[in-house]
């Protein structure tokens, strides 16, 4: 069981935000209301927020958000499991766990987006002692809106993704199945170059890429059938460019 003191011991999440922004005349064309957003973040988090200047012609202004928690994957998911089983029974515990579901951040982002206009998270990462959870945006799907469901599914599938007592050192959510050169392959989303149509929220709960640091390497996990894909061939972004 997770107690109040266990949750308090984790401490405040730390936050890093990066994004590409266009520049001209040696100045970054930053968000108009970024100073207000940073001031609001100061009330909740220790954070580092930085724009990286890029030339025009590509995408920009989508956030890469990374949270750092002083806890391992198993403990984090134990807290999530406690939250699922006891939500609504203790408002104080709910408020504490909301910090580790990043509700304050999502609320501040929503406020920033209302002022600035349609701010999107391109990639959301949770960095733990022994693992990283990485959620990748696809067009038309909002990461904040499906975040709780993703974390709950990691908890619900956790026993299936522990291989001979080895936890995944990275969980990448999501990947796509595709057919390339008459081969079955699994690949990451392609952002603005994505070729799949009719992508929906359900795609986030079909296939994940899991990396195991010590023995088991890379695996594709099939959430629908609750098992690993045998002999899965994963193609990364660089490899896709030469196919």
> Residue 42: which H helix or E strand, with range?
helix 34-42
Show the CA angle centred on residue 179, arms to residues 175 and 183, nearest 5°.
110
Cβ contact 47:34 at 8 Å: no
Cβ within 8 Å of residue 52, ≥6 positions away: 18, 19, 20, 21
Q: Which residues pair with 210 in a beta bridge?
A: 171, 219
Could you give the dihedral angle defined by the CA atoms of residues 58, 59, 65 and 66, in that order, rounded to the nearest 10 degrees? -20
pLDDT one digit per residue (tens) for the chain, 243 residues: 455 546 656 778 999 999 999 988 788 999 999 999 999 999 999 999 999 998 876 678 999 999 999 999 999 999 999 888 888 788 888 888 899 999 999 999 999 999 998 899 999 999 999 999 999 999 889 999 999 999 999 999 999 999 998 999 999 999 999 887 778 899 988 876 667 778 899 999 999 999 998 777 899 999 999 999 998 889 876 655 544
Q: Which of 175, 169, 161, 171 shows the shortest CA–CA distance to 227?
A: 161
Q: Classify each residue of 119-145 as buried b or exposed e, where b means 16 or more C-beta atoms within 10 Å of its C-beta.
A: bbbbebbbebeebbbbbbbbeebebbe
Cβ contact 100:10 at 8 Å: yes
Residue ranges per domain, the chain?
4-240
For residue 64, how many C-alpha atoms fall within 13 Å in the half-sphere facing its CB? Answer: 11
């Amino acid at each position: 069981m997770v107690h109040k003191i266990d949750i308090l011991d984790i401490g405040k999440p730390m936050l890093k935000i990066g994004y590409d922004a266009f520049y001209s005349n040696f100045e970054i064309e930053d968000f108009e209301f970024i100073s207000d957003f940073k001031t609001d973040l100061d009330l909740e988090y220790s954070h580092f927020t930085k724009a990286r200047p890029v030339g025009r012609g590509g995408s920009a202004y989508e956030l890469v958000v990374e949270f750092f928690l002083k806890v391992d994957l198993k403990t984090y998911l134990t807290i999530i499991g406690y939250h699922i089983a006891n939500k609504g029974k203790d408002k104080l515990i709910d408020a504490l766990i909301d910090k580790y579901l990043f509700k304050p951040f999502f609320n501040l982002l929503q406020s920033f987006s209302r002022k600035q206009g349609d701010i999107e998270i391109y990639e959301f990462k949770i960095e733990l002692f022994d693992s990283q959870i990485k959620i990748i945006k696809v067009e038309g799907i909002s990461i904040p809106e499906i975040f709780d469901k993703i974390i709950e599914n990691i908890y619900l599938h956790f026993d299936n993704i522990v291989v001979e007592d080895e936890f995944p050192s990275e969980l990448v959510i999501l990947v796509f199945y595709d057919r390339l050169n008459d081969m079955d392959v699994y690949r990451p989303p392609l952002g603005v170059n994505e070729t799949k149509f009719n992508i929906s929220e359900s795609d986030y709960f079909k296939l994940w890429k899991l990396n195991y640091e010590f023995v088991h390497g890379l695996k594709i996990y099939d959430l629908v059938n609750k098992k690993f894909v045998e002999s899965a061939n994963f193609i990364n972004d660089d490899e896709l460019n030469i196919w």
